[in-house]
Structure 1
Amino acid sequence: MLKSKFKFRALLIPVLIIAITSISAYIITENWPIKIEGLRWIEIYMTVLFLFTWVWLVFGELRTKVIEVTIENNTIEKRNYLGLNQKYN
């Protein structure tokens, strides 16, 4: 039985997701409660940019990078990060 191994590049993406999430949570807790009238355009822009980057990393990059392949006798099994399996004969 052959089983694939993750490369460093595939493991870097979850680290980036955790880093972006923790930095965003820290910024929000330091500035809580948020005063709507005090928001500047750069804060809104950075919030949208962080949110877009987080969604792109989770649903775009992880979907294509974190795939486990197992080759057994007559079958090949492909499993992605959500746990969805596909078997091929």
Structure 2
Amino acid sequence: MKSRFRFWSYLMLACFLAMTYILLLLIYVVFFKQANEKDTIIVVVIFFFLFVWLWLFFGEIRTKTISAHLSNEGIRYKTYFGFSFSQIYKWSDFEGYKTSLVPSKGRSYEYLYLFINGKKVIKVSEFYHSNYSEMKKYVAARVSYLGKEDYRYFRDIKEVFEF
């Protein structure tokens, strides 16, 4: 079984690309054009866009928009919309999985976290994957359920910058 992305995943990628373009344009304006009193505001805007860019790149694109191929042997997955190198895990490598409800505007989305040595290794998301339910059933038949995990916003931010 192969994961499939939802429309929102591609929209987030488009936002990321637009954010990259705007950030590069702002940096160009500050460093390669004549300086004036408005540059202070532009620098503040650059830092804001840089924070959002880092969050999108390392948090959403790296850890949540994964391409996964589930087979009887294990999981082969790639981060960054499937553009990174494959990582392969056998089902026996996982100590289990947990689920968590992540609130969003209007509703909550379920996330499934696969653990190795107490660390989240793979995140599968109902928000980003259109076949999340099938993937969850596939995982549940092969890995033990460790329970629910309460969503913590600051823990999610911390995990964005863990490598």
**Aligned-pair CA distance for 1:29:** 4.9
Q: How many residues align?
A: 86
Correspondence for 1:50: 49
What's the C-alpha RMSD, in Å, of the aligned pairs?
A: 2.3
Share of identical aligned residues, percent? 30
Correspondence for 2:24: 25
Q: Which runs of 5+ in 1 are unaligned?
A: none
Contact 1:68 1:80 in 2 (8 A): yes
Correspondence for 1:63: 62
Q: As a proportion of its length, which structure holds more helix?
A: 1
Cα separation, partners in 2 of 1:74 and 1:28, compared to 1, 3 Å: closer
Q: Deviations over 1:34-88 (max 9, x none)?
A: 42xx243322211111111111111111122211121223322222223241322
Q: Which runs of 5+ in 2 are unaligned?
A: 92-163
TM-score normalised by L of structure 1: 0.73
TM-score normalised by L of structure 2: 0.45
Q: As a proportion of its length, which structure holds more strand?
A: 2
Instruction: Give the Cα separation in 2 of the matches to 1:28 and 1:22.
Output: 10
**Aligned-pair CA distance for 1:7:** 1.2
